[in-house]
């Protein structure tokens, strides 16, 4: 497929899948239940954290987290007190992990918010630095070593799929009815593609990716190619690649 044909194809597929119907089968439907910025970004972060495995299970367990928080995420975090009675498990993410996440979010929101936690006081057009900055801050709260695996580390060459997906949710424009566009400190042009089995496989089938593993270096290779098609909003192609893999078995 010629470059211009590939761009036209991906533009068409991105347009096809980025619409409110996408919410029916995707975990992003959960933060869409809320309207306040803080509620959206808090529950969005927690849902993105458990976003691996079966999507029905992710959505079900995301709703359980909402219930644990009394369907008021921001109020819950601001008034958080440790509760050993909380029972939760999603694959390897369990009650102790969730308690740590609640505690760390409480600490973050006492002096700022999640947007500030990612961006800090710098703006250097580096998604890797945003995620590294956030991870370091988030892990300052006392925690069990087991919980660290739930905050991916780009400096260890992790693909950081869930954190990149979360940033897409928060940053990209809301005009198509899927993402939220509530964070202004990061530009859409800086976003990467959440690299998973669908996006990676389709990108390789289309000849966009050459690397065979899904890691941070592959993130950089993929976004460099996709920015040739749209340098302003390259993350829109997440909908094209994911849709082709998950819904069309391309």
Q: What pLDDT shows up at residue 249?
A: 80
Q: 243 vs 5, 56, 97, 112, 237, CA distance in Å? A: 18, 17, 31, 36, 10
Average pLDDT over residues 214-233: 97
Alpha-carbon distance of 233 to 187, in angstroms, equals 9
Residue-wise pLDDT for 52-97, tens only, equals 989 999 999 999 999 999 999 999 999 998 876 789 999 999 999 9
Residue-wise pLDDT for 139-169, tens only, equals 999 999 999 999 999 999 999 999 999 999 9
Average pLDDT over the chain, rounded to whole? Answer: 94
Q: Is it the case that residue 123 has pLDDT exceeding 80?
A: no
Backbone angles phi, psi at 166, to 5 degrees: -60, -45
DSSP tag of 169: H
Confidence bin at 120 (pLDDT 50/70/90)? confident
């Amino acid at each position: 497929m010629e470059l211009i044909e590939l761009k036209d194809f991906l533009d068409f597929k991105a347009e096809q899948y980025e619409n409110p119907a996408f919410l029916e089968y995707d975990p992003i439907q959960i933060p869409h239940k809320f309207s306040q910025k803080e509620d959206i970004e808090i529950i969005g972060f927690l849902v993105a954290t458990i976003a691996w495995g079966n999507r029905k299970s992710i959505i079900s367990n995301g709703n359980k987290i909402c219930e644990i928080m009394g369907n008021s995420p921001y109020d819950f975090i601001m008034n958080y007190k440790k509760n050993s009675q909380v029972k939760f498990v999603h694959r390897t993410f369990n009650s102790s992990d969730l308690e740590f996440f609640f505690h760390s979010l409480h600490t973050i929101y006492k002096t700022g918010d999640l947007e500030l936690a990612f961006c800090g006081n710098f703006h250097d057009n580096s998604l890797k630095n945003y995620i590294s900055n956030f991870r370091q801050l988030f892990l300052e709260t006392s925690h069990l070593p087991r919980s660290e695996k739930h905050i991916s580390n780009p400096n260890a060459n992790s693909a950081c799929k869930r954190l990149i997906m979360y940033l897409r949710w928060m940053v990209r424009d809301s005009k198509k009815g899927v993402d939220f566009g509530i964070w202004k400190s990061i530009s859409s042009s800086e976003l990467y593609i959440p690299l998973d089995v669908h996006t990676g496989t389709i990108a390789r089938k289309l000849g966009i990716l050459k690397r065979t593993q899904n890691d941070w270096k592959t993130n950089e290779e993929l976004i460099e190619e996709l920015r040739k098609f749209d340098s302003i909003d390259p993350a829109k192609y997440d909908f094209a690649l994911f849709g082709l893999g998950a819904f069309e078995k391309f």
